[in-house]
Structure 1
Amino acid sequence: MKEFKDKVALITGAAHGFGHSLAIEAAQRGMKLALADIDQDALEKTLSDVKKIGAQAISIPTDVTEESEIANMVDETMSKYNEINLLINSAGVAIPGPIWELPTRDWEWILHADLMSQVWALKRVIPIMEKQKGHGDILNVASMAGLITSPLMPAYYATKFAVVGMTEAVEYDLQAVKANVGLHVFCPAFVQTDLYHTENHRPAKYTDKSDPYYSSKTFKEGQKQAKIDITTGMPIDNVPKIIFKALEDDKFYILTHPGMNPAIVARAKNIPSGEGPDLKALAPFLEQTHEVKEDK
């Protein structure tokens, strides 16, 4: 996408983090916005922020773990603007905890929020973009956790690897039918987002306060570490310019932390040789995840 002015952007997770910062950037570029999030109060704040910039915008309260609400989100956007030129699937949660302790409901929550929400949105938006004049773009927010792994967050890595693989596969399908739709997958390492407040946005259907896991040492330490990782990450102000430049340049993979590139390459090289994960070999790369550098 080379031109953004007067184009329509639909953004999930728009109340916080990447979604909020990308909404601001899109507004500054003259885009019309449809903003979706489960946190209605914060969503209205984002709506106010972009309107102060001068953007035409609507807010659509949305629980992305429900397919029917994703369908409604797309329908409301089309009812207002009659087109969608840029879809940004930014909504998501992060859940730490080893597989032998993490409750099944937490797996269901993260799979629905981080993966299925994107599947449901692509299923509806790609046909819309195909019928429109001009080019459409879709950005799926994944993570460096979709390219390499580390300890303590198997549910998060499972969903992010799934997002990367799904996005790659859909890109092949779009090329095969010569669709005028471009896919992009965003894979940042730690950035100063709202992700460590995931528990504030847990829907009731995934909640069981009687489960001892949520008062366990594992759960409490996981929440504490998540806050440290996120609050010491790259400033989020660096991110929107990186992403929109990548959209302009039609980059498929969008990264933020060049220091992690050797770890990505090392993992790929280990696969044909049969080498498995090595925590000691990974340690030096983990120190790079908080570096404050822009991808060149």
Structure 2
Amino acid sequence: MKDFKGKVAVITGAANGFGFEYAKECANREMKIVMSDIDKNDLENATKKIKEMGAEVISVVTDVSKYEDVKALADKTLDEFDSVDLLFNNAGVVAAGPAWELPLNDWDWIIGVNVYGIIHGLKAFIPIMLKQDTPCHIVNTASVAGLLTTPNMPAYHTTKHASVAITESVNYSLQARNSKIKMSVFCPGFVQTDLDNSDRHRPERFKIDPNNPYYESKSYKDGLKRGHHVINTGMPIDSIGQSVFIAIEEEQFYILTHPHYNPVIGKRVKDMLEGVNPSADFFLNR
């Protein structure tokens, strides 16, 4: 896609972080915008700001971990704008801690949002795009955490590796049928977003159980502390929207924003091919 004016963009997780940056860039390019998020108040505030930019925009409260919500988002998009040209499967959360300590409820939550959120978006919107048979693009938000692994983040790495794999496989399938749908997977490093405050966006069925001792544990508190630090000291977010749209224009599949991780990604692949066992020393000594 190179011509965006008048086209329709759908963004999940649009009230904060990357989603809000995408919405601003869509407005700058005179697109029609469907903003969705699980947080009603944040979504209303974000939508108001995008409307003040002069954009034609609607908002839809959506829990991407529920297919019926994402299907309703697709239906609302067609009811309002008759088509969809650009989809950002962007909603995401984080949960840190050792796999054997992390409550199963946290696993269900992060997989529901980060993995099923993408699955639901693809299932609801790809048939619409195929039927349109017009140039379309899908951007799935993953992370550099989907291209490498580190200690104490097993749930996040699991979901982000899944995000990359889903995008690669679906992209092959769309190519095989000569579809006009292009795809990208966005794999940033640490950026100044609201990701470290994910807990405040938990729906009721995934709420933290105050009686679970894990949430008073050192593992949980250390994870929160590290999350706040790496996000607050990350890359400024203001260039992300433009960078991603340039990648869309150039039909770039892998969108990487932090080149200093490339040697780590390369080492992981090299070690696999050479039969070198993973070693925690690489991370402990840095």
TM-score in terms of structure 1 length? 0.94
**Counterpart code for 1:60:** V
Q: Deviations over 1:245-283 (max 9, x none)?
A: 000100000000011111111111111222222233346
Retained in 1: the 8 A contact 2:94–2:156? Answer: yes
Q: Do residues 26 (structure 1) and 26 (structure 2) align?
A: yes
Question: Structure 2: where are the runs of 5+ without partners?
Answer: none
**Counterpart code for 2:43:** L
**Counterpart code for 1:265:** G
Retained in 2: the 8 A contact 1:140–1:167? Answer: yes
Alignment of 1:100-115 (within 5 A): 100-115=100-115
In the alignment, the residues of structure 1 paired with residue 32 and residue 73 of structure 2 have an alpha-carbon distance, to the nearest angstrom, of 15
Give the aligned partner of residue 13 of structure 1.
13
Give the aligned partner of residue 255 of structure 1.
256
**Counterpart code for 1:24:** K
State the number of aligned residues: 285
In the alignment, the residues of structure 1 paired with residue 232 and residue 103 of structure 2 have an alpha-carbon distance, to the nearest angstrom, of 26
In the alignment, the residues of structure 2 paired with residue 36 and residue 238 of structure 1 have an alpha-carbon distance, to the nearest angstrom, of 22
Give the aligned partner of residue 53 of structure 2.
53
**Counterpart code for 1:247:** I
**Counterpart code for 1:120:** H
Q: Secondary structure at the match of 1:179?
A: coil
Give the aligned partner of residue 218 of structure 2.
217
Q: Do residues 77 (structure 1) and 77 (structure 2) align?
A: yes
**Counterpart code for 1:33:** I
Give the aligned partner of residue 294 of structure 1.
none
Give the aligned partner of residue 184 of structure 1.
184
Higher mean C-alpha deviation, range 238-247 or range 135-144: 238-247
User: 1:209 Cα deviation (Å)?
Assistant: 2.0
Retained in 2: the 8 A contact 1:263–1:282? Answer: no
**Counterpart code for 1:96:** A
Alignment of 1:1-296 (within 5 A): 1-207=1-207, 208-282=209-283
Retained in 1: the 8 A contact 2:39–2:201? Answer: yes
Aligned-pair Cα RMSD in Å = 1.2
In the alignment, the residues of structure 2 paired with residue 63 and residue 134 of structure 1 have an alpha-carbon distance, to the nearest angstrom, of 28
In the alignment, the residues of structure 2 paired with residue 185 and residue 196 of structure 1 have an alpha-carbon distance, to the nearest angstrom, of 21
User: 1:190 Cα deviation (Å)?
Assistant: 0.2
In the alignment, the residues of structure 2 paired with residue 139 and residue 206 of structure 1 have an alpha-carbon distance, to the nearest angstrom, of 26
User: 1:123 Cα deviation (Å)?
Assistant: 0.9
Q: Deviations over 1:197-254 (max 9, x none)?
A: 0111111111222211112221111111100010000000121111010001000000
TM-score in terms of structure 2 length? 0.97
Q: Secondary structure at the match of 2:96?
A: coil
In the alignment, the residues of structure 2 paired with residue 164 and residue 243 of structure 1 have an alpha-carbon distance, to the nearest angstrom, of 16
Higher mean C-alpha deviation, range 118-127 or range 274-283: 274-283
User: 1:53 Cα deviation (Å)?
Assistant: 0.8
**Counterpart code for 1:116:** Y
In the alignment, the residues of structure 1 paired with residue 11 and residue 196 of structure 2 have an alpha-carbon distance, to the nearest angstrom, of 20
In the alignment, the residues of structure 1 paired with residue 183 and residue 152 of structure 2 have an alpha-carbon distance, to the nearest angstrom, of 30
Q: Deviations over 1:49-77 (max 9, x none)?
A: 11111100000011111111111111111
Q: Deviations over 1:17-52 (max 9, x none)?
A: 000111011111101000000111110111111111
Q: Percent of aligned pairs with the same residue?
A: 46
In the alignment, the residues of structure 2 paired with residue 94 and residue 83 of structure 1 have an alpha-carbon distance, to the nearest angstrom, of 32
Q: Deviations over 1:71-93 (max 9, x none)?
A: 11111111100101000011010
User: 1:162 Cα deviation (Å)?
Assistant: 0.4
